[in-house]
Copies of this chain bind each other. A is one copy, B any other.
């Protein structure tokens, strides 16, 4: 089981075995690859020698606490890896210190697993934006994030700003299913619009990228979300396996 083959590599530093297990299982189920450490020293060693997409770091740890790990990681190892700090409710004040130490986000225990997943995704995404300019391709649909140009089958398409944002999200996650909620949170952040304008934008996006073409790429998964993918080539490849 190689961790190289997955979408995200995460380091989880947590001494509470029960929490570690739960979080780890859940994240692995979501397709992330995990490395584990149960004390600060080990955590730091792993964090400084490997390249993780995100480090989930408990505040209270044997050996070296989360703050120290985080601070040394930034100052000595010069690693900019996104750090998500886990803190108990009664040490809530420390959160500011945590951010000072170079943490990128924090979560108060006890927390919802889904919330953790969401934060992790956000961190990964934010991190990737730094390396910004990328060509995203799904089937014959192409988005150049540098020029914001969208083409399909060589033909340039006019996509509105929000449409562009939606498209980028969908393409980055392709061929995964993304829930409407996740999309909304990524587009509008905290101040989501009251009524679901998302549908409207998806409708308009479809009109541009799918309607003029025989093969639709943007698919609705009822009560689950949306996904951008070329159904044809997918089924074709799975039949080739056989």
A contact residues vs B (CB 8 Å cutoff): 1-7, 28-31, 95-96, 99-100, 103-106, 118-119, 121-122, 125, 128-129, 131-135, 137, 142, 144-149, 151, 154, 156, 161, 164, 172, 175-177, 221-224, 227, 229, 235, 238-239, 241-242
Q: How many copies make up the complex?
A: 2
How far in angstroms is the closest Cβ of chain B from A121? Answer: 8
Complex Cα gap A95–B144 (Å): 10
* Cβ–Cβ < 8 Å partners of A104 in chain B: 135, 137
Inter-subunit contact B128/A5 (CB<8 Å): yes
Complex Cα gap A118–B222 (Å): 37
Complex Cα gap A29–B168 (Å): 10
Complex Cα gap A95–B142 (Å): 12
Inter-subunit contact B154/A30 (CB<8 Å): no
Of the residues B119, B132, B156, contact of A238 by C-beta under 8 Å:
B156
Interface centre among A28, A118, A129 (most CB of B within 10 A): A129
Minimum CB distance partner of A104 in chain B: B135
* Cβ–Cβ < 8 Å partners of A227 in chain B: 147
Minimum CB distance partner of A107 in chain B: B133
Given A29-B134, A142-B99, A146-B31, are A4 and B7 neighbors across the interface (CB < 8 Å)? no
Of the residues B3, B29, B30, contact of A5 by C-beta under 8 Å:
B3
Interface centre among A103, A176, A224, A241 (most CB of B within 10 A): A176
Complex Cα gap A228–B96 (Å): 21
* Cβ–Cβ < 8 Å partners of A164 in chain B: 224
Given A30-B145, A154-B242, A156-B238, are A135 and B99 neighbors across the interface (CB < 8 Å)? yes
Inter-subunit contact B118/A131 (CB<8 Å): yes
Given A31-B146, A99-B151, A145-B30, are A6 and B6 neighbors across the interface (CB < 8 Å)? no
Inter-subunit contact B29/A221 (CB<8 Å): no
